[in-house]
Structure 1
Amino acid sequence: MKEFGLIGRNISYSFSEKYFAEKFQKENISDSTYQIFDLDSIEEVEQLFRNPNLIGLNVTIPYKEAILPYLDELDHVAQEIGAVNCVKIINGRRIGFNTDAYGFEKSLEPLLEFCHQDALILGDGGAAKAVKFCLNKHLINFKTVTRQGDLKFSDLTDELISNHLLIINCTPIGTFPKVDAYPDIPYNSISSQHLLYDLIYNPDKTEFLKRGEKKGAKIKNGLEMLILQAEKSWEIWNSSL
């Protein structure tokens, strides 16, 4: 039996296990399983890697960067991004990939308009690194907003919001079960020209997206990105490399 799974912390909300179970059933894949591995610390991944049946892992919050020292090799995209959300194990070697970038780019592209030249990225974890990679690729200028970085949430003015028509939430703020939480930005300055993208997919419409929608903005959650990155991961796990 080929074994696959997702590692992260406090990830009982994840749709990945259900997604792959349904995929395996729909596509008559009977030799594979996918499960959640909720790890208190990244060191616990070493025990998982000792499993000879383990073929691949997805990686989520907060281990997309912490996983790097446990890998033997990175593909060129993961190396450039500096974060990994997909690991393939082949002949005992652990190879890191980033399929977040693929999923984000493919789900964002149809929504982009000429006015979306400047972006605000909320948060600066592993997922944000994939987002930056994609924005650079599309020549979209961006500023990163964090609690303690060069640009803090308290620095966000009406003018900054008005001048950055693409706002991407890469923080876990608003994830189930804390669905009433939202990033602290001046929502009154959101307009119908804005595009608000939230990497969160549970709930399907976060408070961040609801507040943007009320102001007429286009909104997008992270579900399509999740599906695209999952399918890309499956493709990598089953490729010969």
Structure 2
Amino acid sequence: MSAATHRSRRSILVGLIGSGIGGSLSPAMHEEEARQQGLAGVYRRIDLEALGLPPSALPDLLTAAERMGFDGLNITYPCKQAVIPLLDELSEDAQALGAVNTVRFQDGKRIGHNTDWSGFKRSFEQGLPGASLERVVQLGAGGAGAAVAHAALSLGAARLTLFDVDEARAASLAVELQRRFPAARVEAGGSLDSAMREATGLIHATPTGMAKLPGMPLPAELLHRALWVADVVYFPIRTALIEAAERIGCRTLTGGGMAVYQAVDAFRIFTGVEPDAERMFAHLQALLAQ
């Protein structure tokens, strides 16, 4: 039997666990790429909000998915860190970041991966080439925040200042990142106004701006034209932050690229098949235009 024939007979069952994910485009992206690859792919949303379940239901949901024959799961807000104690192994990236967005069920084991950081890095390289990384301010130090901060420092950020509603979480992440990237200067907290005045770039990594949490993550008057602005939120693709930044002439990066490229890497983990990244990006653009 040829590899192509074998692959055409394979079925892939994966899902997404998170809260308020009714608008997620991950199912459409994964199922279409599976179809293009000759796979029978099904991708299910497991929405805590829609099911009326608290995040503490995560252990039961993982067990249920495993027993029902899922090949893996994507994990999103608010479960990217809570899932870690429930796993058997972590990839090097997930271990370093302390956050998981992709779980593969394989050989009786639950293996956690993080494709958020690589997805953001690739999106940034393509969408903001030449952007100054001299002084970067980041809002959000949760699971997504840990990933994109790692990506920013991997890209060469010289100074990174983290802010989070949970100040202890931001401080803890700053210490860990400073250890991992000793050549950079990583700090947490202080005056947001002062940090923004000196910043060359802003990364937004909180849920604010999502369809279910509309609004701005910081006062619009703190934005200035010399700043680039990158958002991780992609639904809606044009968040209030992105629109405010564009109005004053900032270079911007929507969350669409990160959404695609983290999905590209997750698809490879789930299936063992190399996806077509350009095709997946084009498909997301088409979905967002609908």
Fold in common (TM above 0.5) = yes
1:21 is aligned with what amino acid? E
1:96/1:8 Cα in 2 relative to 1: closer, same or farther (>3 Å)?
A: same
Q: Distance in 2 between matches of 1:178 and 1:86?
A: 24
Q: Distance in 1 between matches of 2:121 and 2:212?
A: 27
Find the residue that maps to 1:161 and give its secondary structure: helix
1:4 is aligned with what amino acid? V
Q: Distance in 2 between matches of 1:148 and 1:236?
A: 32
Please say if 1:164 is aligned against 2:180: no
Choose between structure 1 and 2: higher helix proportion: 2
Find the residue that maps to 1:54 and give its secondary structure: coil
Aligned counterpart in structure 2 of residue 66 of structure 1, from 82, 89, 109: 82
Q: Where does residue 287 of structure 2 map in the other structure?
A: none
Q: Distance in 2 between matches of 1:183 and 1:165?
A: 18
For 1:44-83, what per-residue CA distance to the aligned partner results, in whole angstroms no more than 9, with x for missing partners? Answer: 3233343252111111000000000110000111100110
Q: Is the 8 A contact 1:2 1:53 kept in 2?
A: no
Query: Shift in Å at residue 5 of structure 1?
Result: 0.7
For 1:113-151, what per-residue CA distance to the aligned partner results, in whole angstroms no more than 9, with x for missing partners? Answer: 363311111111100000121122223121111124165
Q: Percent identity between the aligned chains? A: 28
Please say if 1:183 is aligned against 2:191: no
Q: Which segments of 5 or more consecutive residues in structure 2 lack a partner in the other structure?
A: 1-10, 172-187, 274-290
2:152 is aligned with what amino acid? L
Find the residue that maps to 2:229 and give its secondary structure: strand
2:192 is aligned with what amino acid? L
Q: Where does residue 34 of structure 2 map in the other structure?
A: 24
Q: Distance in 2 between matches of 1:202 and 1:221?
A: 10
1:68/1:198 Cα in 2 relative to 1: closer, same or farther (>3 Å)?
A: same
Q: Where does residue 143 of structure 1 map in the other structure?
A: 161
For 1:23-63, what per-residue CA distance to the aligned partner results, in whole angstroms no more than 9, with x for missing partners? Answer: 23344322x21110113222332333432521111110000
User: What number of residue pairs does the alignment pair up?
Assistant: 235
Give runs of aligned pairs for residues 53-132 of structure 1, distance below 5 A: 53-110=69-126, 111-113=128-130, 115-132=132-149
Q: Is the 8 A contact 1:65 1:84 kept in 2?
A: yes
Q: Is the 8 A contact 2:16 2:76 kept in 1?
A: yes
Greater Cα shift, 144-153 or 165-174: 144-153
Q: Is the 8 A contact 1:188 1:215 kept in 2?
A: no
Greater Cα shift, 34-43 or 58-67: 34-43
Please say if 1:35 is aligned against 2:53: no
2:134 is aligned with what amino acid? Q
Query: Shift in Å at residue 18 of structure 1?
Result: 1.9
For 1:189-234, what per-residue CA distance to the aligned partner results, in whole angstroms no more than 9, with x for missing partners? Answer: 4333211111001111111111111111011111111111111111
Find the residue that maps to 2:272 and give its secondary structure: coil
Q: Distance in 2 between matches of 1:107 and 1:80?
A: 21
For 1:93-112, what per-residue CA distance to the aligned partner results, in whole angstroms no more than 9, with x for missing partners? Answer: 01010000110000012314
Q: Where does residue 235 of structure 1 map in the other structure?
A: 268
Query: Shift in Å at residue 152 of structure 1?
Result: 5.6
Q: Distance in 2 between matches of 1:224 and 1:114?
A: 16
Q: Please tell me the root mean square deviation across aligned C-alpha atoms, in Å.
A: 2.0
Greater Cα shift, 120-129 or 143-152: 143-152
Which structure 1 residue ranges, 4+ long, deviate > 6 Å from structure 2? Answer: none
1:164/1:143 Cα in 2 relative to 1: closer, same or farther (>3 Å)?
A: same
Find the residue that maps to 2:249 and give its secondary structure: coil
